[in-house]
Amino acid sequence: MNLILLGAPGAGKGTQAEILCKKLGIPSISTGNILRAAIKDGTPTGLKAKSYMDAGQLVPDEVIIGIVDERLKQDDCAKGCILDGVPRTIAQAEAIEKAGIRIDAVIAIEISEEEILRRMSGRRVCEACGASYNLEAVPPKVEGICDSCGGKLIQRKDDTPETVRERLKVYHKETAPLVDFYAARGLLKRVEVADNKEATNAKILEALGLGK
Ligand code: ADP
Ligand code: ZN
């Protein structure tokens, strides 16, 4: 099963991708995490991506398409995968179609702008594994430490209010049109965020026909 998670920054795509990955037994592919790892490792891709990411802009389509292409070729994707944060433009969605990747469902996570701004200020991510936390909603068991790998939790550079506003602008212009793109293909399932990550996940599973 190949799934796409769509949603504004802060909608909780990464958190939901992690839960779905465990429940469905397929890997989640986060272009954001892959790019952050590339920056940390100082690879050519990382060097190219950094200035865009820090400014809240999208990394050029050809870079993203290359990353996804390469990642989907790996063995663990044979039974499917969860695409988290990609595609983010119509051009990326078309490239995925052209590559012959069959998408089974697209979950659009819906959230108000007010809630996004509130969440982003409390967001922390694991420097080592990319897991995300929220000081209010999803705090780690030990302050500043990742529950799953023991890594250090940091605030992302692009989570400052100014950059968040820029990312929201980019989202409305470039990514929101994907909702219609996938609705036209009969693949879209809208899910409004619930009170906590478990409740939101239950709604997603239900939308996929996998609920209890
Ligand atoms: P969020 O969903 O909270 O915005 P991500 O970790 O998915 O966070 O992405 C962080 C940044 O990485 C984006 O603002 C963008 O610069 C870059 N990025 C990630 N995925 C893509 C993509 N598919 N296309 C273009 N840029 C991307
Ligand atoms: Zn971690």
**pLDDT digit string, tens, across residues 63-93:** 999 999 999 999 999 999 999 999 999 999 9
Q: What is the pLDDT of residues 121-178, one digit of tens each?
A: 899 999 999 898 999 888 999 999 999 999 999 998 888 888 999 999 999 999 999 9
Q: Which of 4, 155, 158 to mutate to test the pocket of ligand 1 (most atoms within 8 A of CB)?
A: 158
Q: What gap in Å lies between CA 1 and CA 104, rounded to an integer?
A: 6
H-helix or E-strand spanning residue 153: strand 153-154
Q: What is the pLDDT of residue 28?
A: 95
Q: How far is CA 137 from the centre of its chain?
A: 18
Q: Which of 28, 29, 31 to mutate to test the pocket of ligand 1 (most atoms within 8 A of CB)?
A: 31
Q: What is the pTM of this model?
A: 0.88
- Integer CA distances (angstroms), 89 to 7, 52, 128, 178, in order: 12, 15, 28, 7
Q: What is the pLDDT of residues 8-27, one digit of tens each?
A: 998 999 999 999 999 999 99
In this structure, the residue with its CA closest to atom 23 of ligand 1 is 86
Q: What is the pLDDT of residue 156?
A: 87
- Integer CA distances (angstroms), 206 to 45, 57, 107, 190, 211, in order: 37, 33, 11, 11, 4
Q: Which residue has the tokens 């929101």?
A: 176
Question: Within 13 A of 6's CA, how many CA atoms are on the CB side?
Answer: 29
| Cα–Cα nearest to 24, from 2, 54, 51 | 2
Amino acid symbol at 139 = P
Q: Which residues line ligand 1 (CB under 6 A)?
A: 9-10, 13, 31-32, 35, 52-53, 56-59, 64, 85-86, 88, 92, 158, 167
Q: What gap in Å lies between CA 169 and CA 32, rounded to an integer?
A: 18
Q: What gap in Å lies between CA 79 and CA 66, rounded to an integer?
A: 21
